[in-house]
Chain A
Amino acid sequence: MALRGPVGPRRLPDWMATTALLLPAYAWLTLAVFLPLLTMFVFSFLNKTPMGQAPVEFTLRHYRAFIDQPYLLGVAWNTLMMGVWTTLICAVLGFLAALALVRCSFGRSREMLLVLILLPFWTNGLVRVFSWTMVLRENGFLDSLWHLVGDGSVGFLYSRPAIILGLVHGYLPYMILTCYIALVTIDDAVIEAAQSLGARWWTVLGSILIPLALPGLISGAVLTFVPVIGSFMEPRILGGPVGMTLGTVIEDQFTQAFNWPLGASLSFTLLAVVLAIFATFSGVLRRGTAGAS
């Protein structure tokens, strides 16, 4: 305050204000995101985890993992399929749930329903997944219900559908929320106009609701797909022997094998694949998100 002149505070130039406002965010990003990521990137070129006094050397061999260990290609394919199925199911269920919220609920009941949808977010992921094991296992809750009407077991714990179920449960709220935000902005008048011109419900859905809600669907799909193909907890716990994904392979490198460089190189390979997918579909993504604005 000693610096303050007699005529009061001088106006700072715009660029300085912008910089000052952005600085905390970018400093934080650098510290919390870029530095650790950079360290991991460096690790991915080392021949062993740099701990203790053993000397380390630079090597590219961890990036050859998919060539040296061809079974990883099968694992990668299963992982991508897991992502695709989870995203598709989330998209269908999420869109319908959001539509129901927007069209069929009002005021307090809508708030109530939104809170219910967010509930899975408030439970710890591990708790959620372990609850599913109790439901899905042989002689679990699902079987107890089934035994009221039939014999045998319908439990499907330790299978791919079990993994997908757990993932859909965890990521559905993202899709509902993004679709909800997109749908709630659609003017009722547009739909009424379509109906008064004789459009049936499927025309309204296909020509108005889905195109206008596309940005929500796309951002929901991105928010679901990316974490799902890196997930390791749900596949490990619900998948049993079939639960091997790139996520569990990477986790093993860090927790069991103590081979951080391989884990890091696999992570960056996965990141590259995700970016390649987005680059391929960037045209669609841009059109989709631009269409609504």
Chain B
Amino acid sequence: MANFTRRDTMRMLTAALAAGAAGSFPARAQGGKITVLNWQGYGTDEAWALEAFMAATGIEVVHDYFSSEAETLTKLRTNPGAYDVVLLNSARVSTAASEGLIAPADLSKVPNAANISPDLLANPNFSIDGQGYAVPWVWGMTSIAVREGIAKPASYKDLASEAYAGRFAMNDDAMIAVALGALTTGQDLNDPADMEAVKEALKALKPNVKMLWSSEDQWNKSFAAGEFDVSIFWSGGSVRSRRNANLPVDFVVPAEGAVVWVDGLAMAAGAPNPDGAAAFINWMIDPAFYVEWATKVGAPASANAQALAGLPADDLSAQVHKAEFMVSKNVMSAMPDERREAFNAAWQEVKAFYAE
């Protein structure tokens, strides 16, 4: 899951050093200052949005950036009280919450959260013992990309069909590969009980596997050269391939559903300006901000159903990211080291089988 957020879309957001003196302004709405911790260039640091936010609430937003998900937690650990809002991938929320790095989310101060699916809000990735810790913000998927004019698979099982012999490209990523095998065999993608069945399902793809891709650029070059017709791919990547490179690619989510990642916004524990943080989170999941961000700049899908519905009908991202694909049981979760190791070993064994 680390891979998604790192690679998908551009990252932004900022956070700077909070003076800790926030909240002392008696301004009409709230005033003061908040510090946001995020990837650079990932929505929260759009200058036009911050100006509008400042005009509406009087709150100044400063940013600090991280360059890896591990760094996020390190920054939270070493600078308590420095941040108000922090971006966390679904797989990191539980770690941050259990270490006391983020505060429980007070949804009464985030009215826009009413448009987030209750199913997702209650997902164990965001909620511990019934208490929500981060507000789901944007999401994306990994599923099947198909060349225009090629028969679309209705199920992941169809990927092993002879129709795609030597025309399939697989993502060289252990987490995704095991998740795909788990979905194919009807198991929990975060903790498949029968790993042998997962490996069998993946090994069955061997006659069709033409290449293993590991970067979006590599995928685009090979797809453009006609090396394969069907592939495991990222939803955001397929939108970019079509929009930027004009490649004839359709994104398909088969019956079993897609592998989903979600980025959430959380309030840091000991935030100097909790009310400002809640107001900012609310602003970020507001349809008005999202539609402008997605159409002007390009963004992943919003977790707010109303915001997603606000996109123009011809928007590529809206066509790909249908709200019904956001199935909360398919969200990639945090996992213990042992399981991660088992996932990697399984994928390695499958790759060795492909290489025989």
Chain A residues engaging chain B, CB cutoff 8 angstroms = 48, 51-52, 54, 69, 71-72, 74-75, 78, 133, 137-140, 157-158, 236, 239-244, 249, 252-253, 256-259
Contacts and interface: CB of A to CB of B under 8 A. Distances in A.
B225 A75 contact: no
A71 B347 CA distance: 12
Tell me the interface secondary structure of chain B in the complex.
helix
Contacts of B351: 241, 244
Interface stretch (B208-216, B234-242, B281-289, B325-333): B208-216
A257 B344 contact: yes
Contact of B226 (A138, A241, A243): A138
Interface string B325-356: 00000000000010011001100110111111
B352 A138 contact: no
Contacts of A252: 174, 344, 348
B341 A257 contact: yes
Contacts of A236: 214
B225 A137 contact: yes
Nearest to A262: B341
Given A72-B352, A75-B352, A139 B211 contact: no
A58 B40 CA distance: 39
Contacts of A74: 352, 355-356
Interface in B206-229: 206, 209-212, 214, 221-222, 225-227
B70 interface: yes
A69 B211 contact: no
Nearest to A73: B352
Interface residues of B, number: 28
Q: Which 9 A-B pairs have the closest CB atoms?
A: A244-B355, A257-B344, A71-B352, A240-B211, A241-B354, A241-B209, A242-B355, A244-B351, A71-B349
Given A69-B345, A249-B348, A241 B212 contact: yes
Contacts of A257: 174, 340-341, 344
A91 B6 CA distance: 44
B230 to A, nearest CB: 15
A78 B353 CA distance: 12
B79 to A, nearest CB: 16
A260 to B, nearest CB: 12
Interface in B169-220: 170, 173-174, 206, 209-212, 214
A51 B173 CA distance: 22
Contacts of B173: 256
Contacts of B174: 252, 256-257
Nearest to B225: A137
A39 to B, nearest CB: 19
B252 to A, nearest CB: 22
Nearest to A49: B337
Contacts of A139: 225-226
Contacts of B211: 158, 240-241
Given A252-B348, A257-B341, 11 more contacts: A69-B349, A71-B353, A137-B222, A137-B225, A139-B226, A240-B211, A241-B212, A241-B351, A241-B354, A244-B351, A257-B344
Contacts of A253: 344
